[in-house]
Amino acid sequence: MFSYDSLPPPKSFLTAAASFTASALLFRTIASDLIPTEYIKSLFKRFSTQLTVVIEESDGLTPNQLFEAANIYLGTKLSPSTHRIKANKAEKDDELTVTVDRNQPIIDVFQNVKCTWVLHTEVIEVDHNSNSRSELKFFELDFHKKHKETVLKNYLPYVLKKATEIKDAKKAVKLHTVDYYSGTDYWSPVVLNHPATFESMAMDLDKKVELMEDLDMFVRRKEYYRRVGRAWKRGYLFFGPPGTGKSSLIAAMANYLKFDVYDLDLKEVRGNSDLRKMLVGTKNRSIIVIEDIDACGVGLQSRETENDASNSNEEDDKISLSGLLNFVDGLWSSCGDERIIVFTTNHKERLDAALLRPGRMDVEVEMSYCSYGGFKVLASTYLQVKEEEKMELFGEIEELLKKVEVTPAEIAGELMKKSDDVEIVLGNLIRWLQLKEAEDKD
């Protein structure tokens, strides 16, 4: 039978504990003197089942794209156990950017693989004499060794892709214009707050769907363009009368893709050399726009004049057709990825055939006068009224639009006039269309 009397006195317990602690400290001291700490760490790692991937902030002067992507991606993977986060908002961005703080473990599960991320910082002494220091940031990604292929080939590319999607969703689309006084890049940006979307565009529904599908196909075909040996770019020509929505369609494309817009006014460009510099100054994932190409005053209608000028040894003080074609599909057009080039014109027939051949203008979109389908989009946008709510008035407008040619801009102008009463606005539109019909007959 157990008896408390058989236990040694408490003093003996304390003496034994003190002796054990002293022995452990002595062993640790001897071990640290005789065996390097790094060797002990490497010994533990040798028997560990975990593999660690180190992702540094930069490789010398070159930023590490994967580090930035991980920072963005992990900001969406915060858990209740996360105690510290960082929040930042750039002046021209729409939303806050949330990222993780250092020494905060973030656990992510991908295809049943547990991945643990930790952001570390390390102070590096740059100059011993001046005591100047810099901070090195890096992520450590831990996972089981058997999942090495999954992490390197699937998970990390997935992080890159998701980070791009997150960044695009928060990105404020910018409009860049030519500015010779802004420095060496020639471009001056402002936020593009144009509200146009494909939903609000008063154009034929089939054309709208076809264009959106073409854009979707373009942005996902990076490997295809690389495989066939072509620059990852696409050319569009928007043509039609003034007021049919060509500029608004460009804004809708930019908002849809989250691409910046570079508005290239050829009248402001001093010559072919400047044109090349401006092209190099544009960024990937952008839309380069040359509006009213037929009216830009650079003599693009004929190449005979250009040949005469080259024979007379004129200086490169104006844009030639060959210079523009080089811009569209020559060697200089390959200086970047995922670029869209859009030309607009009111008179397609005035353009040189060399500019219109496939490979330069991949897609031609005719922006026509307002159809009944376009009117229904405008009525829904401006008046928030549907066809079934005002069948009789809509029917009269449908018949009139078959007889007169008016632009979506003109219809929109009428819908914005005078009254908040839908029936009064539609009645005024009908009378205006009837007046246009009478004028056309006269």
Kindly list the distances between the CA atom of residue 43 and the CA atoms of 38, 40, 66, 147, 203, in Å, as whole numbers in the listed order.
8, 5, 30, 22, 69
Per-residue pLDDT at 37: 55
Per-residue pLDDT at 277: 79
Region 298-321 average pLDDT: 52
The H helix count followed by the E strand count for the chain is: 16, 15
Per-residue pLDDT at 84: 78
**293 C-beta neighbours (distance < 10 Å), count:** 23
Residue 61 corresponds to which tokens in the numbers above?
């002067």
Of the pLDDT bands very low, low, confident and very high (cuts 50, 70, 90), residue 203 is confident
Per-residue pLDDT at 62: 78
Share of the chain above pLDDT 70, in %: 76
Strand partners, 109: 114
Kindly list the distances between the CA atom of residue 13 and the CA atoms of 8, 16, 17, 26, in Å, as whole numbers in the listed order.
8, 5, 6, 20
Per-residue pLDDT at 314: 47
The better pLDDT of the pair 153, 63 is held by: 153
* Single-letter amino acid, residue 65: Q
User: What does the pLDDT look like over 385-427, one tens digit per residue?
Assistant: 888 888 899 999 999 999 999 999 999 999 988 777 889 999 9
**212 C-beta neighbours (distance < 10 Å), count:** 15
d(CA 146, CA 152): 12
Of the pLDDT bands very low, low, confident and very high (cuts 50, 70, 90), residue 125 is low
User: What does the pLDDT look like over 231-243, one tens digit per residue?
Assistant: 888 999 999 989 8
Is-contact 110 158, C-beta < 8 A? yes
Q: What 3-state class would DSSP assign to 331?
A: helix
Q: Is the pLDDT of residue 6 over 70?
A: no
Kindly list the distances between the CA atom of residue 96 and the CA atoms of 57, 72, 99, 195, 423, in Å, as whole numbers in the listed order.
21, 11, 10, 21, 43
User: What does the pLDDT look like over 350-377, one tens digit per residue?
Assistant: 888 877 877 778 899 999 899 999 999 9
Q: What 3-state class would DSSP assign to 359?
A: coil
Output the pTM of the full model: 0.67
Q: Say how many residues make up the chain.
A: 442
Q: Is 103 left (phi over 0), alpha (psi -120 to 50) or beta?
A: left
Considering 79-88, 186-195, 290-299, the range whose residues carry the highest mean pLDDT is 186-195
d(CA 217, CA 219): 6
Is-contact 115 141, C-beta < 8 A? yes
Q: Where are the domains of the chain?
A: 50-170, 175-366, 372-441
CATH number of 175-366: 3.40.50.300
Per-residue pLDDT at 313: 45
The better pLDDT of the pair 396, 180 is held by: 396
- DSSP per-residue string spanning 224-293: HHHHHT--SEEEEEEESSTTSSHHHHHHHHHHHHT-EEEE--GGG--SHHHHHHHHHTSPSSEEEEE--G
Rg for the chain (alpha carbons), in Å?
Answer: 33
